[in-house]
């Protein structure tokens, strides 16, 4: 998803009153014509819907916004391979978390899953109880290695359709 699209979704989500296109374009650092084109593209892709004479976020738009919303750096998920052995991968959003799950060693995935680290971060920081529970189910299944990686990514895809967003 383009950076402009994330800005548009975020601005629409945070807006407390109606804005004309000039004000909106300024808020997202685009020209009015660029803003119109990007809003139309987001509507075509199902992230926005027409509401009266304006646009509003769809459920797909809200989910996409959640995927790309960054948490404070001190709340990022830090990947380790073992206690005291950081990998240097720090996820500040669900989108980064997904990408790092795809990159880190399976030892790291197993380390975090079986300690409950993934569940805790998803539940406490991301406020996503459903995804935390999906990960807990994977822990109960005793998955390992690449099978675990695929299952983690699949759980995130099922929850967020992230494959469609990246």
- Listed residue (141, 135, 146) closest to 112, CA to CA: 135
Domain residue limits, the chain: 3-68, 73-159
Report the topology of domain 3-68. Answer: Arc Repressor Mutant, subunit A (1.10.10)
pLDDT single digits (tens) 72-85: 999 999 999 999 99
Residue 162 in this model has a pLDDT that exceeds 70: no
Average per-residue pLDDT for the chain: 91
Between the ranges 2-6, 61-65, 88-92, where is the mean pLDDT highest? 88-92
The size of the chain, in residues, is 166
Query: Degrees (nearest 5) of the Cα angle 47, 52, 55?
Result: 25
pLDDT single digits (tens) 14-33: 887 888 889 999 999 999 99
CA distance 113 to 100: 14
pLDDT band, very low/low/confident/very high, at 68 (cuts 50, 70, 90): confident
Q: DSSP per residue over the chain, as a string?
A: --HHHHHHHHHHHH--S---HHHHHHHTTS-HHHHHHHHHHHHHTTSEEEETTEEEE-HHHHHHHHHHPPPPGGGSEEEEEETTEEEEEEESSHHHHHHHHHHS-HHHHHHHHHHTHHHHIIIIIS--HHHHHHHHHHHHHT--HHHHHHHHHHHHHHHH-HHHH-
């Amino acid at each position: 998803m383009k950076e402009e699209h994330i800005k548009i979704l975020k601005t629409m989500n945070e807006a407390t009153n109606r804005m004309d296109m000039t004000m909106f374009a300024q808020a997202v650092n685009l020209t009015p014509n660029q803003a119109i084109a990007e809003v139309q593209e987001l509507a075509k892709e199902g992230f926005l819907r027409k509401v009266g004479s304006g646009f509003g976020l769809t459920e797909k738009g809200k989910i996409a916004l959640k995927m790309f919303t960054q948490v404070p750096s001190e709340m990022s998920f830090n990947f380790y391979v073992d206690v005291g052995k950081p990998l240097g991968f720090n996820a500040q959003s669900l989108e980064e978390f997904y990408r790092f799950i795809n990159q880190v060693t399976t030892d790291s995935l197993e380390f975090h899953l079986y300690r409950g680290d993934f569940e805790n971060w998803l539940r406490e920081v991301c406020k996503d109880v459903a995804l935390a529970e999906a990960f807990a189910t994977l822990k109960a299944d005793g998955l390992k290695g690449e099978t675990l990686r695929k299952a983690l990514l699949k759980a995130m895809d099922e929850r967020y359709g992230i494959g469609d967003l990246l």
